[in-house]
Structure 1
Amino acid sequence: MRSTMQNVPLLTSRIIDYAGDVYPGSEVVTWGADGPRRSSFTDVAKDCRRLANALRTLGIDGDQRVGSFMWNNEEHLELYLGVPAAGAVLHTINIRLFPQQMVYVVNHAEDKVIFVDNSLAQPFSALLEHTPTVEHVVVNGPVPDEVKQALAGGGKRQVHDYRQLLDAQPDTFAWPEVDENDGTLMCYTSGTTGHPKGVVYSHRSNLLHATFCAGANGLGLTQSARALAIVPLFHANAWGLAYAAMMAGSSLIMPDRFLQPEPLARMIESEKVTCGGAVPTLMTGLLEYLDGHPETDVSSLDRVIIGGSACPPALMHAFHDRYDVTVLHGWGMTETSPLGTVAIAPVGVEGEEYWNYRHSQGRLALHVEARLVGPDGAVQPWDGEAVGEIEVRGPWVTGSYYRDDDAASAEKFDEGWLRTGDVGSLTADGYLTISDRAKDVIKSGGEWISSIDLENELMAHPGVREASVVGVPDEKWGERPLAIVVPVEGQTPAVEDLRSFLQDRVARWQVPERWAFVTEVPKTSVGKFDKKTLRARYAEGSLSVVQVERTSA
C-alpha cells in the first residue's frame, strides 16, 4: 500500500518564506565597530529574493557554484539562504586555509561568482590571478579604488557592490522547484594530507539536519532564543545553526570579525544571548575574560554547544559552577553536516552518572546510524567498553567526495558506511565516547594511550591553559606521549608537579616523560590542535623538550 501523503519536495527555500512570514519579530544582529546593526527576518527574506534576482543578472541560472569569502554577518547569512533557494550551490570558502589551498578549492568547485567582505578584499584579490573560472566579484562594503582594480584584474572580472547590486532588484522571486537531492552548499574538509575534499549537502539533508539541530535533543532552539553564531558559516556547514535558527524563529547574533573574548562578552551582555556554538579555544578565552571582569553580566546565557575538538571537562565544570552555563559536547565532522551526537544527559540521572554522560560526546541523533569496527574488521558491541573506529551512515552523511577519485578517499567508505577516523566506544543507550583520532592514538608497548584523555586531565591542572599530547618515537616502547603545555599566564608549573597530578588520574605507565612548554599550541584552520606540526617540530628538534625517567607502574 502506498501512502496518501502529498509528495512535496524538502527545499531550503521554504525556510526563507516561512521565517519571513511567521517570525517578523525575530532579528539578525551583526556586530560592528560602531555597535550592532539589525534586520528583521522579514527584511532578510526580502534581501534573499533580491539576491536571487541579482544572481540571474550575473549569469547564475542553474546549479553553478557561488563562492563566499566572508565573516559571519547578515550578508553572508543571506547568501547561505538565498543562493541554494535560487537553485545554485554556495561554496563557503574557509578563510583560514593556506593560499594555495584556497586557490585549489575555488578552481575545483569552479566558482563563477564570489562574494567577499571588504575587510578581506585586499588579501583575496591576490588569489584571483590563479582562479580563471571567476567572472564576478561582489564586495560587501566600500573598498579603495586600488582594491577594486586588483579585484577586476585588468578587466578579467566585473566588480560589484553588494548593497547596490541588491537594491537594484525587486524583492519578489519565484523559487525554482528543484530536486530535493540537488546540492545546496559545499564545504571542503581541511585534511592535513593531500588536497581538501569537497562535501556537497542537499536540500533534503540540510532540512532534516536542521530539524534535529533545532530540537530539544540538539540546540533546543525556540522563538525566544537568541543564538550567538560564533562557529563560522564556512566551517562544517555552520553546524546547522543558520538554517535551524531561521526555522525555529531564534534571533541570530552574528559577530562578523569580532571574535575576541572582550567583544564576545559584550555581545552576550548587550544582546542577551541565550545560546551558541563555538570551539574549545574560543570558550577558554571567554572564560578567562569573564573571570577577570566579574562585572560582565552573562546571566542570559544558558547553553553553548562545543565541537571541533574535545572539550576539556574542566572547562565544562568552570562554566557550570561559576556562570550557570551548560557547555554541551557535540560530535561530528564536515562529512556529517556535521552534528551526529549531542551530550544531553538522560532525564533523572544525577551526580557522577550525570557528569559521565555530559563528558561523553553525546547520544546519537535519530537518523545517524553508527557502528564500531575493531582492528580485525569485526563489529564491536555497544557496551561502553569495546573500542573501535566509528563508522556512520544516514541521510545527512556524505557518501562520497565531490569530483574525487583518489584511492585514499575511497578508503574512507566501507560498504556504504563513512569511516570517521575517530576511535571510541558506545554505550547500550547510544552515547558515544571518543578515545582519540585513529591517527593520534599512541601505541606504547602494545597498549593504546588516548592523547585526548591525557590532554583533558592536564587541562584540569590550575596552572595549565592548554595542553596537547602527541606520540613520538621511542626506542624501547615504539611510541611514547609527548606533552606540550601552555601555562596559565604568570605561572610556571614544574614537570614533576604535572606528573604527580597525572599519576592520580591516569595509569602511571601512561604519564609522559617528555615535556615541552610553549606560549601557544599551533592550531589548524578550524581551531583544532595541529598535531602534525607538533610532531614535525619535535622531529626537527625545534621544540625544547625536557625528558625525565619513565614511571614504570
Structure 2
Amino acid sequence: MQGLMQDWPLTVDKILNHAQAWHGDREVVSRSVEGPIVRTTYAQIHERAKRVSNVLIGLGMQPGDRVATLAWNTGRHIEAWYGIMGIGAVCHTLNPRLFAEQLVYIINHAEDKVILTDLTFLPILAGIRDQIPGVKHIIVLSDEANLGDQLPGALAYETLIAEASSDAKWGGFDENTAAGLCYTSGTTGNPKGVLYSHRSNFIHTLVTMGSDVLGIKATDTVLPVVPMFHANAWGLAFSAPAVGAKLVMPGQKLDGASVHELLESEGVTFSAAVPTVWQMLLQHLRASKGKLTTLKRVVIGGSAVPESIVRGFRDEFGVDVTHAWGMTETSPLGTQATPNAAIEQMDPEAQLQFKLKQGRPPLGIQLKLVDDEDKDLPHDGHTFGRLKVSGPFVVGQYFKAEGGKILDDEGYFDTGDVATLDEHGFMQITDRAKDVIKSGGEWISSIEIENLAAGHPKAELAAVIGVAHPKWDERPLLLVKLKAGEAAAKEEFLQFLDGKIAKWWMPDDVAFVDDIPLGATGKIDKKLIRDRMKDYVLPTAAAGGSAALAMSPEPKIYAPEPAPAPVAHHDHDDDGAWLHWTPGPDQTLDRTRAEPAEGEAPADAVRPFRRS
C-alpha cells in the first residue's frame, strides 16, 4: 500500500519561488565585479532569473543542455543559476583557478553550449576560445559599456535581460532531472564530472538547513565566501533563499580587509569559507585592531581547520567555529562538528578537541571505515581506515561513466580519504589514501605532522610527504616555508615535534622551501611536491636506517594523542605556485625551468629556484 500524499517534485526552482513568495523583500547584496555595492531582493532575483531562462531558450537551449558559469559570488550569478536550472538545463560551474588546459578539457567534456562569465575572466576565455568550438555563445555578466573588445562576439548580459520577458515556465519535469554539473579538481588523471539532480540538491538543502548542520534561519545575514564554483558554495545559494536569510555576496575581493568591511557594514551573522580566508581575516583584525560586532558563527571546510583559528575566533572575538567536511561527490556537506549532548557537557577545552575533527554525519549520510581488504573497522577514534560514504546526495556514477563502477557492493563510495571514527560518531580525516605514508607496514598521517609543524612560531606553512626508503618503504619528509625574515635549523622543528607524535612518526629530514604549492581549491598540492622532490634522497636512506625506527612500531595503528598546547597554523593564498627548496650541503638540485605539466602553475607563477 502506498501513501496518499501529493506528488510534489523536489525541483530547485521551488526554492527561489518560495523566497520570492514569502521573503521577496529580503536583500541580496553584492560587491559587483565593476566595483560598487549592488542591492537587490529575492523578488527581483526571481524576476531576472526568469528573464535569463527566456534568454537561454532564445539561444536554443533545451532541457539537458549544459550551460556553464565562470563567475564570482554575486546576485547575477544566482540569477544565472536559477535561470538555467529552472528550464531543465544543467548549470555547470567552472573553477577559474584551474589551468587553461583543464578548463578546455572540462568545457569540451561537458559539451557546454553557452558560458556566462564575469569581466574578470574574459582574458582566460579569449585565450582558449578557439579550443572550445562547442560553445556557441559567451554572455558577459555586465553591460555594454563594460564589454570592451577582449572577446569578439560576446553578448552583454544586461542588454539580453532587458530585452527578455519575465514570463517563463519553470519546473514540470521529473525531480531526478539533472540540475548541476561540477568537476573534481583532477589531482589524479582528468577531472571527473559529478552530475547533481534536482532531487539531490533539494534534499541536501533540507539537510543543511538543520540546526545541527548550517542552521541558518530567516533572521540571519549570510556571507558565503566559499565560491559558488567550489562545490556549490556548500549549498548556501540554495539554503539561504530557502529560509529567507539576507545574502551578502563578496564578489572577487576575498582579502581580510574586504571581508571585514562586508561583515560589519551588512551586519553578517553567519559565514563560510576555507581556512585561508579566515587566517587572512584574523591577521587583518589583529593588525587593524578591528572588531566583529555581529558575526556569531562561521563554518570552515576545504582542509583541516587549524586550532589557532578556532581559538582566535572564540577567545578574541566571541565567534563560534564549526568544522565541516565534504567533497564535490557529496554535494558537498558530509559531516559537521556540531556537539552532541555528551560533548556539550564537557568543558570548553575538551570540546575543542572535537571541534578540530571533521564531525558527525547528518541524517541522509552514512559512513563506514574499512581496511585494505574491505572489512569493517571499529569506531574507537584510533583505528585508521578508508572512509566510505553513501546517501541520497552522494555520487553514484561519474558523468559519462568516467572511471566505471565507483560504488562497492553495498552502495558505498570510496572517498579516497583515510580517517578515524570515534564512539560519538565524530570522523577525523588523517590523510588522503594517496598521501598516507606507509612505513614498515604501518601508516603515518602526513596531515597530523604538518598541522603540528605549522604551529612552530617560525613556520608559515608546512607539508609532509613520504619519500622512498630502502628498509622501511617510505619515511616522512617535512617541508617548511618559514615566515619572512626567519631562519631555522631542522633540529628546531624535530625538537618541536618531540612528544607530540609517536617516535616512529618523526620525520627523517626537514627541508626548508621558498614556497609550498596549493591547488585550485586551496589545498596543498602533494602531487606536485612529490614530483618536484622525486630525486630527493633521505639522509637515513644513505645511512642505511633511521634511529627513530630502532623500535618496531606497534602492531595496531594509532593516531597520536592531541597536542596539549595550542597549534598555530598559517595558511597561504590559493593561487598556486611551484615548489622551491634550498638543497643542503650534501645535495644538489639541477632543475631548469620548463613548461608546466598537468596540474602545475602557469609560467607567470614560477620563480627561479633559490640555490645555496
Please tell me the TM-score bracket, short chain as reference.
over 0.9
Equivalence for 1:74: 75
SS at match of 2:400: coil
Query: Which residues of 2 match residues 195-206 of structure 1 at below 5 A?
Result: 195-206=190-201
Matched residue, 1:15: 15
Provide Cα deviations, 1:396-451, integer angstroms capped at 9, x if missing partner. Answer: 00100001343xx5356554210101111222332111111111111122221111
- The aligned counterpart of 1:28 is 28
**Cα gap change, 1:92/1:315 in structure 2, threshold over 3 Å: closer, same or farther?**
same
Choose the corresponding residue for 1:536, options 499, 518, 531: 531
- The equivalent of 1:400 in structure 2 is 397
Residue 516 of structure 1 is matched in structure 2 by 511
The residue aligned with 1:183 is 178
Q: Does 1:349 align with 2:350?
A: no
What corresponds to 2:365 in structure 1? Answer: 368
Task: Work out the CA distance in 2 between the residues paired with 1:131 and 1:514.
Answer: 46
Q: Distance in 1 between matches of 2:36 and 2:536?
A: 47
Residues of 2 paired with 1:86 and 1:327: CA distance? 38
Matching residue's letter, 2:176: N
In the alignment, what sits opposite 2:499?
504
For the residue of structure 1 that corresponds to 2:329, the secondary structure is helix
Structure 1, unaligned stretches of length 5 or more? 153-158
Counterpart for residue 150 of structure 2 = 147
Task: Indicate yes or no: 2:40 matched with 1:46.
Answer: no
1:473 aligns with 2:474: no
Q: Cα distance, 1:27 vs. partner? A: 1.5
Deviations 1:120-147 (A, max 9, x none): 1122122121112111111112445432
Q: Is contact 1:232-1:238 (8 Å) kept?
A: yes
* AA aligned opposite 1:327: V
Secondary structure of 2:28's counterpart equals strand
Any conservation in 2 of the 1:313–1:460 contact (CA below 8 Å)? no
| Letter paired with 1:8 | W
CA contact (8 A) 1:272 1:298 kept: no
Is 178-187 or 139-148 further displaced after alignment? Answer: 139-148
Identify unmatched segments of 5+ residues in structure 2: 552-612
In structure 2, distance between residues paired with 1:526 and 1:459:
20
Tell me, in whole angstroms, the C-alpha distance in 2 between the residues paired with 1:76 and 1:249. 18
| Counterpart-to-counterpart distance in 2, 1:360 and 1:21 | 39
Q: Which range moves more in the overlay, 98-107 or 117-126? A: 117-126
Please give the secondary structure, in 1, of the residue aligned with 2:474. strand
Distance 2:249 2:390 in 1: 32
SS of residue matched to 1:363: coil
Tell me if 1:381 matches 2:378: yes
Give, in angstroms, the shift of residue 31 of structure 1: 1.2
Aligned to 1:453: 448
Superposed, which structure 2 residues align to 1:428-439 within 5 Å? Answer: 428-439=423-434
Taking the aligned partners of 1:82 and 1:88, their CA distance within structure 2 comes to 9
Aligned counterparts of 1:467 and 1:381: Cα–Cα separation in 2: 31
Contact 1:369 1:394 (C-alpha < 8 Å) held by counterparts: yes
The farther-off stretch of 482-491 and 462-471 is 482-491
Q: Calculate the TM-score normalised by the size of structure 2.
A: 0.84
Aligned-partner SS, 1:315: helix
Report how far residue 52 of structure 1 moved. 1.1
Contact 2:416 2:432 in 1 (8 A): yes
Distance, in Å, in 2 between the alignment partners of 1:24 and 1:526 is 33
Amino acid at match of 2:12: T
| Structure 1 range deviating more: 506-515 or 47-56 | 506-515
- 1:155 — aligned with what? none
Question: Taking structure 1 as reference, are residues 429 and 457 closer, same or farther at Cα in structure 2, changes over 3 Å only?
Answer: same
How far 1:34 moved relative to its partner?
4.1
Tell me which amino acid in the other structure corresponds to 1:310. A
Q: Aligned to 1:399, what secondary structure does the other structure show?
A: coil
Match of 2:162 in 1: 167
What TM-score results when the alignment is normalised by the length of structure 1?
0.93
Q: Which of residues 324, 330, 345 in structure 2 aligns to 1:330?
A: 324
Q: CA deviation at 1:477?
A: 2.0
Instruction: Give the letter for the 2:162 counterpart.
Output: D
1:89-488 aligned within 5 A: 89-141=90-142, 142-143=145-146, 145-149=148-152, 152=153, 159-294=154-289, 296-347=290-341, 348-351=344-347, 352-406=349-403, 409-411=404-406, 413-488=408-483
Counterpart AA for 1:239: W
Answer yes or no: is the 8 Å Cα contact 2:112–2:135 preserved in 1.
yes
2-structure distance, mates of 1:369, 1:17? 31
Tell me, yes or no, if the aligned pair for 2:490 and 2:509 is still in contact at 8 Å: no
Aligned-pair CA distance for 1:329: 1.2
Whichever residue aligns with residue 24 of structure 2, its letter is P
Quote how far apart the aligned CAs of 1:50 are: 1.1
Shifted more, 333-342 versus 314-323: the winner is 314-323
Give the CA deviation at 1:318.
2.1
Give the drift of 1:507.
1.3
How far did 1:542 drift?
12
Please give the alpha-carbon distance, in whole angstroms, between the structure 1 residues aligned to 2:46 and 2:537: 53
**Could you say if the C-alpha distance between residues 209 and 543 of structure 1 is closer, same or farther in structure 2, counting changes exceeding 3 Å?**
farther
Between 119-128 and 457-466, the greater mean CA deviation after superposition: 457-466
Relative to structure 1, the CA distance from residue 210 to residue 543 in structure 2 (aligned partners, 3 Å threshold; closer, same or farther) is farther
What's the CA shift for 1:541?
5.5
Asked if the contact 1:188/1:197 (under 8 Å) is kept, the reply is yes
Per the TM alignment, residue 509 of structure 1 is displaced from its structure 2 partner at its CA by 2.4
Q: Is the 8 A contact 1:341 1:361 kept in 2?
A: yes
CA RMSD of aligned residues (A): 2.2
Q: Does the residue aligned with 2:515 lie in a helix, a strand or coil? A: coil
Q: Secondary structure at the match of 2:455?
A: coil
Is this contact kept in 1: 2:365–2:391, CA < 8 A? yes
